[in-house]
Amino acid sequence: MTMERRNFLKLLGAGAAATASVGLAGYANAATSAGGKHKVVVIGGGYGGTIAARYIRMMDASIEVTLIERNDHYVSCPFSNLYLGGILPDLKSLTIKYDKLAKNHGIKVVQAEVTGIDAENHSVTTSKGVFQYDRLVVSPGVEFRTDEIKGYDQEVMPHAWKAGPQTVLLRKQLEAMKPGGTVVLSIPLAPFRCPPGPYERTSMIAMYLKQHKPGSKIIVLDANPDIVSKKGLFLKGWKKHYEGIIDYRPAKKVTEVDNKNMSVLIEGIDEIKGDVINIIPPQKAGHIAHVAGLVGPDGKWCPVNPTTFESTLHKDIHVIGDSSIAGAMPKSGYSANSEAKVCAANIVALMNGRETTEMSGVNTCYSFLSEKEAVSVTGVYQVNKEKNVIEAVPGSVGVSPDLSELEAVYAQSWVKNILNEMSS
């Protein structure tokens, strides 16, 4: 739903203030903590996990927090499309480490692979030992349902939907492609991580082709019946900048690939060939969520209490970010950040015998259409108590009125600030 921008921004401000007040309330009452050492373990060092760990410690320094992450760094998937388009020279500005988070907040950071969760005995098994917890936060992002695409090999047709080596590989493939070539991009059925992301990627690849590969085109095979986010703005941007370069085809689900002949099959029938093929596979909750029995009957996502984000399947385990089913909250970096703050405040409250705080969340997703122009979609979210589900505040979900250089400035500021919050 679109709305008059001024009223929307007022709603957005109210939502942001509500989210901030959750944190302040927890922090102000930290002195009432019980004497014993409570232990919280956080799995995953991305947009959700880092913020949950940081805010739990900020609200109650008596709680011992351990953050477990398999890598010694994290590369932001949001904004990685700008690297594919050539706006960013590398991924350094999107990469964070955890040393300051540990030093500034007293968080124990463990680089290890999590291999199991014992919900009954409140323990996490890793490649570096077993960690006990009173409450556990699981924020593992997404994994890919690659079994649904016959023959798929990510080293031949990279997904680049987890930023890092895959993103670099796709960029190198684009650079090596001859002018006049064809890029094929496959989009899975929603829900998936970052709803506007594939369409921003289409824009960035088209921009790269226009600037560096004359005569080339990009064929977009979207399994969805239409563009799932910011449709009008994307179509306007494509017409303005990339007419004749982008060939968008809705309701085209890729079910099989031929790595040798560099082609994809739509529903096993129509064959499309490309010089570079970017397959974004359908997605599900991170692997550890499946191992731990946190995934619901759909076999894909983790059902949670919409106020505390506690798993509805296992007590004292909270699931945030892309892996959770959070009602209307989209699977985005900003959603994970917002969910983490609400989850942290309510974990502190539960550990201190206080009442939990109602969920109030905000999401914003920026998308670049060209080197200088971007668009955004933003919403404010709260729990519908009767339905026990997170819903958008009526009239709060709005898109930017047009392609805008100012939105691009806002976007750059957003990613800088949110990554700084995650790493310091």
3-state SS string for 1-17: CCCCHHHHHHHHHHHHH
- Phi, psi values for residue 147, rounded to 5°: -65, -15
**Coil/strand/helix, residue 198:** helix
**136 shares a domain with 245:** no
- Per the structure, the complete domain to which residue 241 belongs is given by 153-279
**268 shares a domain with 335:** no
pLDDT of residue 277: 98
**390 shares a domain with 291:** yes
| Last residue within a domain, chosen from 231, 263, 279 | 279
Cβ–Cβ < 8 Å for 194, 77: yes
Q: Cα-Cα-Cα-Cα dihedral of 47, 50, 54, 56, to 10°?
A: 90
Q: Say yes or no to pLDDT of 6 above 90.
A: no
State how far the alpha carbon of 275 is from the alpha carbons of 82, 83, 165, in Å: 21, 20, 20
pLDDT tens, residue by residue, 260-299: 999 999 998 899 999 999 999 999 999 999 999 999 999 9
Which residues does 58 contact at the CB level (< 8 Å), separation at least 6?
Answer: 23, 27, 105
Looking up residue 309, the CATH number of its domain turns out to be: 3.50.50.60
**273 shares a domain with 294:** no
Residue 224 CA to residue 222 CA, distance in Å, equals: 5
pLDDT tens, residue by residue, 18-59: 444 444 443 433 333 334 689 999 999 999 999 999 999 999
**275 shares a domain with 299:** no
Cβ–Cβ < 8 Å for 181, 276: yes
Q: Say if strands 254-258 and 182-187 run parallel, antiparallel, or are unpaired.
A: unpaired
Burial of 28 (0-12, 13-18, 19+ CB in 10 A): exposed
**Burial readout 114-136 (b: 16 or more C-beta within 10 A, e: otherwise):** beebebeebebbbeeeebebbbb
State how far the alpha carbon of 162 is from the alpha carbons of 75, 83, 90, in Å: 8, 13, 15
Q: Point out which residues pair with 270 in neighbouring strands.
A: 266
**310 shares a domain with 228:** no
| Last residue within a domain, chosen from 279, 307, 324 | 279
Q: What is the mean pLDDT of residues 99-128?
A: 97
Q: Say yes or no to pLDDT of 208 above 80.
A: yes
**273 shares a domain with 338:** no
Q: What is the mean pLDDT of residues 391-399?
A: 95
- The total number of structural domains in the chain stands at 2
Q: What is the mean pLDDT of residues 226-254?
A: 98
Using the Cα atoms of residue 329, residue 331, residue 332 and residue 337 in order, give the sign of their dihedral.
positive
State how far the alpha carbon of 86 is from the alpha carbons of 91, 187, 208, 236, in Å: 11, 22, 7, 22
Enter the pTM of the model: 0.92
Q: Using alpha carbons only, what angle is made at residue 104 by residues 101 and 106, rounded to the nearest 5 degrees?
A: 80
| Last residue within a domain, chosen from 225, 245, 279 | 279
